[in-house]
């Protein structure tokens, strides 16, 4: 059995989530179309609305501010293209960073092709986007700023409260990709100056294929929808609601709220144990910020070896050398390159991401495997 340390790519579903989903699928359950007027339809609708409240509760939003989508990628696209297309008459400038998830990068690149201008902010050496750099990039015609809360490769956590504050008074909308951070860090949208926030269920022990976009009501953020049709989700996202998926996300977010304090402590300790074990390797480098990070992510670069060989040698570990969404490309991580790591160090990096089911024994075994295999490869290379 391999050791799964890739919780940032995707998480196994919590069995309680699977249990709730199973009640919304077959003839004996809440299978009906939530848009149908009959009793089974109304019952399905009630389950959807309960889930909406559960999602809202994790981030202290109002239920009507939650729009369900097919995942965080769609939510990112809806936020970015939706605001840009709606606000097009007001301005064509967007600010984002070079280390956003591909969902944000690719949506912004598409807008560039449509004639928008995008400022791509550089992170500092620790992988943080400094609020000052956002301020410096703002222009009168900036319609959107999109900065992630936590980076999926590094785990670094940006100060979105400060970025939101400095945008106050400027007309630009603030979108935050919180796919990695929701359920891992406390988020209070009533206190944050954030207009839009993306969430994924499958990063928080919920199902794949469901996510949500928070769209602030006051002051109201307006969007041009990506998907038009029957007018579901207040007209912002049409398509028959997948009750089981939505209920699964609701349950996952409810569990996240319940477990967060205890889980954050446990994962922080496990990550520290992993880091203490691996920092004994000569020359190993921590990618990211030493303290401003998610509890469960540790990203390291290993000098003098080839990334692919290291990943292959550590085959017993399910870890990644970057985001799963880029793993097919075999290119060195663009995130690490943006931090100024050279090709070798960017290539020979491992992202360990720990989660609800990770044990101390697994961490210890991971330390042992990586240490042994690295030393073997380094000796061969020398």
Partner 1 sequence: MDIYLDHNATAPLDPRALAAMQPWLIGVHGNPTSVHRYGRAAHEALEAARAQVAALVHAQPAQLVFTGGGTEADNLALKGVCGGAPSGRVLVGAMEHSAVLGPAAALAKRGWEVEYLPADAAGCYDAATLGRQLAGGGVRLVSLMLANNETGAIQDVKALAALAHGAGALVHCDAVQAVGKLPVDFGALGVDLMTLSAHKLGGPRGVGALVMDRRVSLTPLVDGGGQEQGLRGGTENLAGIVGFGKAAELAQAELEDRMAHTRRLRDQLEAGLADVPGLKIFAAESERLSNTSQFALPGMDGEWLVMEMDKRGIAVSSGSACHSGSGEPSHVLLAMGQPPEIAKGALRVSFGAGNTESDARAAAQALKEIVATLGKRVAAVGW
Nearest residue to 75 (alpha-carbon basis) of 233, 222, 256, 210: 210
CB of 317 to partner 1, least distance (A): 8
Binder to partner 1 among 23, 53, 110, 292 (CB under 8 A)?
110
Please give, one letter per residue, the 3-state secondary structure of the chain.
Answer: CCEECECCCCCCCCHHHHHHHHCCCCCCCCCCCCCCCCHHHHHHHHHHHHHHHHHHHHCCCCHHHEEEECCHHHHHHHHHHHHHHHHCCCCCEEEEECCCCHHHHHHHHHHHHCCCEEEEECCCCCCCCCHHHHHHHCCCCEEEEECCCECCCCCEECCHHHHHHHHCCCCCEEEEECCCCECCECCCCCCCCCCEEEEECCCCCCCCCCEEEEECCCCCCCCCCCCCCCCCHHHCCCCCCCHHHHHHHHHHHHHHHHHHHHHHHHHHHHHHHHHHHHCCCCCCEEECCCCCECCCEEEEECCCCCHHHHHHHCCCEECECCCHHHHHHCCCCHHHHHCCCCHHHHHCEEEEECCCCCCHHHHHHHHHHHHHHHHHHHHHHC
325 has catalytic annotation: yes
| Residues 243-262, interacting with partner 1 (CB under 8 A) | 243-245
85 preceded by a cis bond (ω within 30 of 0): no
Lookup: tokens for 250: 């609701």
CB of 66 to partner 1, least distance (A): 16
Is 9 or 66 the residue whose CB approaches partner 1 more closely? 9
101 binds partner 1 (CB under 8 A): yes
2 binds partner 1 (CB under 8 A): yes
Nearest residue to 235 (alpha-carbon basis) of 224, 220, 221: 224
361 binds partner 1 (CB under 8 A): no
Is 23 or 50 the residue whose CB approaches partner 1 more closely? 23
How many degrees, rounded to 5, is the angle at CA 21 between CA 18 and CA 24?
Answer: 155
CB of 119 to partner 1, least distance (A): 19
10 binds partner 1 (CB under 8 A): yes
48 binds partner 1 (CB under 8 A): no
210 binds partner 1 (CB under 8 A): yes
| Residues 52-71, interacting with partner 1 (CB under 8 A) | 69-71
Q: Which of 24, 108, 314, 325 is catalytic?
A: 325
CB of 18 to partner 1, least distance (A): 5
Q: Which stretch binds partner 1 (CB under 8 A): 7-15, 51-59, 156-164, 260-268?
A: 7-15
Binder to partner 1 among 48, 55, 58, 104 (CB under 8 A)?
104
CB of 321 to partner 1, least distance (A): 8
CB of 209 to partner 1, least distance (A): 2
Binder to partner 1 among 98, 122, 139, 208 (CB under 8 A)?
208
Is 192 or 317 the residue whose CB approaches partner 1 more closely? 317
CB of 346 to partner 1, least distance (A): 17
CB of 140 to partner 1, least distance (A): 26
The distance from CA 112 to its chain's CA centroid, rounded to whole angstroms, is: 23
- Interatomic CA distance for residues 313 and 291, integer angstroms: 30
Binder to partner 1 among 140, 171, 186, 230 (CB under 8 A)?
230
Task: Map residues 19-38 to x or -, x wherever contact with partner 1 holds by CB under 8 A.
Answer: --xx--xxx---xxx-xxxx
Binder to partner 1 among 162, 166, 227, 369 (CB under 8 A)?
227
Is 229 or 261 the residue whose CB approaches partner 1 more closely? 229
Is 167 or 215 the residue whose CB approaches partner 1 more closely? 215
197 binds partner 1 (CB under 8 A): no
Nearest residue to 312 (alpha-carbon basis) of 266, 218, 246, 380: 380
Is 70 or 344 the residue whose CB approaches partner 1 more closely? 70
| Residues 290-349, interacting with partner 1 (CB under 8 A) | 311, 315, 317-320, 324-329
Q: How many residues bind partner 1 (CB under 8 A)?
A: 76
List, by residue number, the catalytic residues.
325
């Amino acid at each position: 059995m391999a050791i799964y340390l890739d919780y940032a790519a995707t998480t196994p579903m919590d069995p309680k989530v699977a249990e709730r989903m199973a009640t919304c699928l077959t003839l004996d359950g809440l299978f009906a179309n939530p848009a149908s007027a009959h009793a089974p339809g109304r019952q399905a609708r009630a389950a959807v609305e309960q889930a909406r409240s559960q999602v809202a509760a994790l981030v202290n939003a109002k239920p009507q501010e939650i729009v369900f989508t097919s995942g965080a990628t769609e939510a990112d696209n809806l936020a970015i293209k939706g605001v840009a297309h709606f606000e097009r008459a007001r301005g064509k400038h967007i600010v984002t960073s070079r280390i956003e998830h591909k969902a944000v990068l690719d949506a912004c690149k598409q807008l560039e092709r449509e004639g928008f201008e995008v400022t791509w902010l550089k992170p500092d050496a620790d992988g943080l986007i400094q609020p000052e750099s956002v301020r410096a990039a703002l222009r009168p015609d900036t319609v959107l700023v999109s900065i992630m809360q936590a980076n999926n490769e590094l785990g670094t956590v940006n100060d979105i409260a400060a970025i939101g504050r400095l945008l106050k008074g400027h007309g630009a909308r603030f979108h935050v990709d919180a796919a990695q951070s929701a359920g891992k860090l406390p988020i209070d949208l009533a206190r944050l100056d954030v207009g839009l926030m993306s969430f994924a269920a499958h990063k928080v022990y919920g199902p794949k294929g469901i996510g949500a976009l928070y769209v602030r009501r006051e002051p109201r953020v307006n969007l041009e929808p990506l998907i038009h049709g029957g007018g579901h989700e207040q007209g912002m996202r049409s398509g028959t609601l997948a009750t089981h998926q939505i209920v699964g996300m609701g349950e996952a977010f409810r569990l996240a709220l319940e477990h967060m304090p205890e889980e954050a402590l446990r994962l922080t300790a496990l990550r520290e144990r992993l880091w203490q074990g691996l920092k004994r390797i000569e020359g190993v480098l921590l990618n990211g910020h030493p303290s401003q990070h998610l509890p469960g992510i540790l990203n390291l670069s290993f000098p003098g070896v080839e990334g692919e060989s290291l990943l292959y040698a550590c085959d017993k570990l399910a870890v990644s050398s970057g985001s799963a969404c880029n793993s097919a490309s075999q290119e060195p991580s663009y995130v690490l390159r943006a931090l100024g790591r050279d090709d070798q160090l960017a290539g020979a990096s491992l992202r360990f991401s720990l989660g609800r089911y990770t044990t101390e024994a697994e961490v210890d075994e991971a330390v042992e495997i990586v240490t042994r295999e690295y030393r073997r490869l380094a000796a061969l290379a020398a």
